[in-house]
Amino acid sequence: MDVNTAPAEAPRVVTDAPPAEVGSPMTGAPAAPARVLAFATKGGNTNEEQRLRDLLSAFATDWFSFDRTSKLGGFRQLVKLLKSRKYDLAVMEGTGIAGGLALLWSRLWGRCRYVVSSGDAVGPWVGAVRPGLGWLFTKYEKWLCRRAAGFIGWTPYLVGRALTFGCPRAATAAGFALHPKSPADMAAARKKVRADLGIPDDTIVFGIVGSLAWNKRVEFCYGWELVNAIRLTDRKDVAVVVVGDGAGLDHLRRVASTDLGKRIYLTGGVANQYVLDYMAAFDVGSLPQSVDGVGSFRYTTKISEYVAARLPTITGQIPLAYDLDSGWLWRLPGPNPWHPRYVQAVADLMRTITWDDVHAKHAHLPESLPEFDRDAQVKRITGFVQDILNEIPPKRA
């Protein structure tokens, strides 16, 4: 990965939450206010930072605003903070190499312990983009897990991977919708978004929300499977909506051709608080994941949002499609979502789907899934982090 240079500057931290205590009453260790340093490698003011803020809401936490355009500068600032011995624990959301190397440096020199939270298998993910580097980042992932005090996985599959790599303890926090809405708000949003896009009420909409990062090696981004599939059908009462921005957007426009603005709607990016508004306009959500070391370990943020939006969903034959399914998922064949077999399966569904099919899948959607309950996850991770803090000798007692 490229690491950009930047001049050193004072670390950017913001403090919130009341202090927790360090030291276990069972061992008689003295209690002292615990300080936690937290950051998301995706950057400040992102959905991943907000998720971590919720999970760590019980602790006195200093938030470091990580700048992805200045990775070397971020590394230096994190090292400075970790060297200060001010913190009992650091928590990182994501597995970016600049943040991860700062944490590994800290453990190498016996400084601040750390916890990693991740939604991806790092080595396979990098290998899918840059095949020659997959083995190196698998080693990095192993070192990161082995030196950590704990691991928070977005899926139980990632928790198992971290434990296999030598992480001493782990817990699962599968994610949750950051901006939940009432059924009345969702109904109003559905009507407004469809009107804004010009989609009739009787049209069955297949949709997806996500970053449209273009993978040059396999020529794919989110939404590619939907846009290509609908081009294989002649139905006028089925449409595709892709919400997101990125390099893949121009590729989708090219494939959409004359259907752009008629059966295919590409909205561009929207703010996080409006994600569920656009999902309300869908009838079927798309969760395209490869059946391999990348997709099989994932839930992705979209699955918790699809559940919150009560959307029947199409996906591949990945573990979650069996573990979470109570009849609301379509499991489609094919090794990955850019494979012709998968695209053809989506096209076949678009060609034959009826409102009765949509309603039947919707009827099997539970009111909620415990895996994506925010309060349960916050409680779980609070206990997990507190147990780690209880085993750390208090520095300031």
8 pLDDT more than 50 = no
Place 33 in a pLDDT band, splitting at 50, 70 and 90.
Answer: low
Token pair of 210 as six digits: 């996500």
Q: With H, G, I as helix, E, B as strand and everything else as coil, classify residue 260.
A: strand
Mean pLDDT estimate for the chain: 90
How many helices (H) and strands (E) in the chain?
15, 15
| For range 53-66, the mean pLDDT | 94
Q: What is the largest CA-CA distance in the chain?
A: 73
Q: Which stretch of 34-38, 203-207, 254-258, 330-334 has the lowest confidence by average pLDDT?
A: 34-38
Interval 85-110: pLDDT, tens? 889 999 999 999 999 999 999 998 87
**Domain 13-176+374-390 shares a fold with domain 183-368:** yes
Place 19 in a pLDDT band, splitting at 50, 70 and 90.
Answer: very low
What's the CA gap between 295 and 151, in Å, rounded? 19
pLDDT for the residue numbered 5: 34
| For range 233-242, the mean pLDDT | 97
- Where are the chain's structural domains? 13-176+374-390, 183-368
10 pLDDT more than 50 = no
Radius of gyration of the chain, Cα coordinates, nearest whole angstrom: 22
24 pLDDT more than 60 = no
Q: Looking at the domain that runs over 13-176+374-390, which CATH code has it been given?
A: 3.40.50.2000
Q: What is the DSSP letter of 203?
A: -
Place 32 in a pLDDT band, splitting at 50, 70 and 90.
Answer: low
pLDDT for the residue numbered 366: 87
Interval 124-178: pLDDT, tens? 999 988 889 999 999 999 999 999 999 999 999 999 999 999 999 999 999 998 8
Place 383 in a pLDDT band, splitting at 50, 70 and 90.
Answer: very high
pLDDT for the residue numbered 395: 55
Place 16 in a pLDDT band, splitting at 50, 70 and 90.
Answer: low
Q: With H, G, I as helix, E, B as strand and everything else as coil, classify residue 153.
A: strand
What's the CA gap between 159 and 121, in Å, rounded? 10
pLDDT for the residue numbered 69: 82
Residues 6+ apart with CB under 8 A from 209: 243, 244, 270, 275, 278, 279, 302, 305
Percentage of residues in the chain having pLDDT higher than 90: 79
Residues 6+ apart with CB under 8 A from 354: none
Pick the CATH number of 183-368 from 3.30.930.10, 3.30.1490.20, 3.60.130.10, 3.40.50.2000: 3.40.50.2000
Q: Which residue has the tokens 């989708």?
A: 252
Interval 263-286: pLDDT, tens? 999 999 998 889 999 999 999 999
| For range 196-220, the mean pLDDT | 95
What's the CA gap between 133 and 129, in Å, rounded? 9
Q: With H, G, I as helix, E, B as strand and everything else as coil, classify residue 121.
A: coil
Q: With H, G, I as helix, E, B as strand and everything else as coil, classify residue 40.
A: strand
pLDDT for the residue numbered 27: 40
Place 300 in a pLDDT band, splitting at 50, 70 and 90.
Answer: confident
